[in-house]
Amino acid sequence: MAFDRLTFERAENEIKQRRISAENRLNMRIAEVEVKIPEISEINHQLSQTSIELSKLIVKKKDNFKESFEQIKSRNLQGQEMIKKLLTANGYSADYLEPVYTCPICRDKGYINGGRCSCFNKLLTHFAVEKLNSEANMPDCDFEHFSLEYYKGKTDANGIDCYKKMSENLDSCKKYASGFSINSQSLFLLGKTGTGKTHMSLAIAKVVSAKGFTVAYGSLLNYLRIIEKEHFGRANNSETDTLQVLINTDLLILDDLGSEFQTSFYESVLYNILNSRINLGLPTIISSNLTSSELQKNYNDRIISRLFSVFTTLMFVGEDIRQIKRLKDEY
Ligand SMILES: Nc1ncnc2c1ncn2[C@@H]1O[C@H](COP(=O)(O)OP(=O)(O)OP(=O)(O)O)[C@@H](O)[C@H]1O
Ligand SMILES: [Mg+2]
Ligand SMILES: [Zn+2]
């Protein structure tokens, strides 16, 4: 999975910062404990002597290497045990002098077994998504600015009470956002233009990002164009692989399905994204102002069947709020 240089450097720096702060935290704890419990200071001193002995032993490789090695090891373990006992006797937890890493797997090195650790990949995806998101910008699209007033007294063509329906949608989207996890369900927001689908999905994005999840939000068309450019124009491996980023982000919001031209490349990319995320069990939110029959006409069965079986559909109803707002501005 490729990333551009800047994204890579940001992730690398973050890992380095994590490692440094874990070391700093540990050093402060050592200093604190050594003042309060001088015996520990003495043992630590002895332990550092044993590690010097050990390196000398390895360099010299004497005949009794194994025996001496075991001796040093056992002294070392005894020392560690003594420290733990002293810590608990003085009211500390036994692991108080163990370093606390953000990622215990790689101990904040970013690499493990010669490859990138999952924490590093997560950071790379996070910074790549941040860069992608910086192009999408819709201020005030949050739950606080989502008003139900626009739907009051309106009934849609099927006789549905718009206010009631949209109150339910708002309620379930708020719950979805506040209870979000990477095992959350996928949502399909369907409804006519201007009924608040994009506004609602950005409101979810804000809450979920604030909880620390990586959320990519953008128009499907824009994403497809980026992926197309990368796919056909790539000469080297130093560019971000946006397709992989979209597949791996905690939450993906694909806005405006149906606004793109139908090409077999786009359709295969869309299928690839949906199918991979479904297989990874990761949630996706898709919005569209097409009707279900238009969707069925425009997309192949592999996509349609996934959208209608895996996704929970929320119907958005009401008048075109974009137009209502515009008229209000004009008069
Ligand atoms: N319930 C709402 N309260 C306040 N503003 C709203 C509400 N719903 C939508 N808006 C505003 O109306 C405009 C259009 O809404 P939005 O873009 O969410 O519609 P949409 O359903 O995504 O339409 P389209 O299908 O054309 O993409 C936006 O400026 C949005 O902030
Ligand atoms: Mg929209
Ligand atoms: Zn790690």
| Closest residue CA from atom 10 of ligand 1 | 196
Supply the pLDDT for residue 250: 98
Determine, yes or no, domain membership for 65. Answer: yes
Give residue 107 CA to ligand 1 midpoint distance, Å.
45
| Closest residue CA from atom 29 of ligand 1 | 322
Determine, yes or no, domain membership for 128. Answer: no
Looking at the 3D structure of the chain, how many domains does it have? 2
Range of the domain at 219: 135-330
Supply the pLDDT for residue 59: 82
Give residue 287 CA to ligand 2 midpoint distance, Å.
7
Q: Average pLDDT of 30-45?
A: 95
Q: Average pLDDT of 45-67?
A: 83
Supply the pLDDT for residue 235: 55
Instruction: Please list the alpha-helical segments (H only) found in the chain.
Output: 5-36, 38-60, 65-89, 118-133, 162-178, 197-210, 220-233, 242-248, 264-280, 292-298, 301-310, 321-330
Mean of per-residue pLDDT scores for the chain = 93
Q: Which atom of ligand 1 is least distant from the CA of 148?
A: 1
Evaluate if residue 317 carries a pLDDT over 60.
yes
Q: Are residues 188 and 227 in the same domain?
A: yes
Domain boundary among 116, 148, 177: 116
Per-residue pLDDT band at 86 (split at 50, 70, 90): very high
Q: Choose which residue among 151, 217, 319, 322 to substitute to test ligand 1 binding: the one with the highest number of ligand atoms within 8 A of its C-beta.
A: 322
Evaluate if residue 329 carries a pLDDT over 90.
no
| Closest residue CA from atom 27 of ligand 1 | 193
Determine, yes or no, domain membership for 290. Answer: yes
State the Cα angle at 310 between 199 and 207, rounded to 5°. Answer: 30
Supply the pLDDT for residue 64: 80
Q: Among residues of the chain, what percentage have pLDDT more than 70?
A: 98
Determine, yes or no, domain membership for 126. Answer: no
Evaluate if residue 217 carries a pLDDT over 60.
yes
Supply the pLDDT for residue 316: 98
Q: Are residues 109 and 146 in the same domain?
A: no
Q: Average pLDDT of 195-206?
A: 97
Give residue 112 CA to ligand 3 midpoint distance, Å.
7
Per-residue pLDDT band at 51 (split at 50, 70, 90): confident
Residue 219 DSSP SS3: strand
Determine, yes or no, domain membership for 162. Answer: yes
Please indicate whether residue 273 or residue 238 has the higher confidence score (pLDDT).
273
Supply the pLDDT for residue 85: 97
Q: Are residues 111 and 201 in the same domain?
A: no
Q: Are residues 154 and 77 in the same domain?
A: no
With a 6 Å cutoff on the Cβ, whether 152 touches ligand 1 is no
The two tokens of residue 110 are: 């970013």
Evaluate if residue 234 carries a pLDDT over 70.
no
φ, ψ of residue 31 to 5 degrees: the values are -60, -45
Q: Are residues 88 and 179 in the same domain?
A: no
pTM of the model: 0.87
| Closest residue CA from atom 13 of ligand 1 | 322
Give residue 87 CA to ligand 3 midpoint distance, Å.
28
Supply the pLDDT for residue 1: 80
Q: Are residues 109 and 161 in the same domain?
A: no
Q: Which atom of ligand 1 is least distant from the CA of 146?
A: 3
Distance CA 174, CA 242 (A): 29
Residues around ligand 2, an ion, CB closer than 5 A:
198
Q: Are residues 81 and 211 in the same domain?
A: no
With a 6 Å cutoff on the Cβ, whether 154 touches ligand 1 is no
Other C-beta atoms lying within 10 Å of the C-beta of residue 319 = 15
Per-residue pLDDT band at 53 (split at 50, 70, 90): confident
Ligand nearest the Cα of residue 151 is 1
- The DSSP string of 72-122 is HHHHHHHHHHHHHHHHHHTT--TTTTS---S-TTTTTSSEETTEE-HHHHH
Q: Choose which residue among 170, 171, 199 to substitute to test ligand 1 binding: the one with the highest number of ligand atoms within 8 A of its C-beta.
A: 199
Evaluate if residue 110 carries a pLDDT over 90.
yes
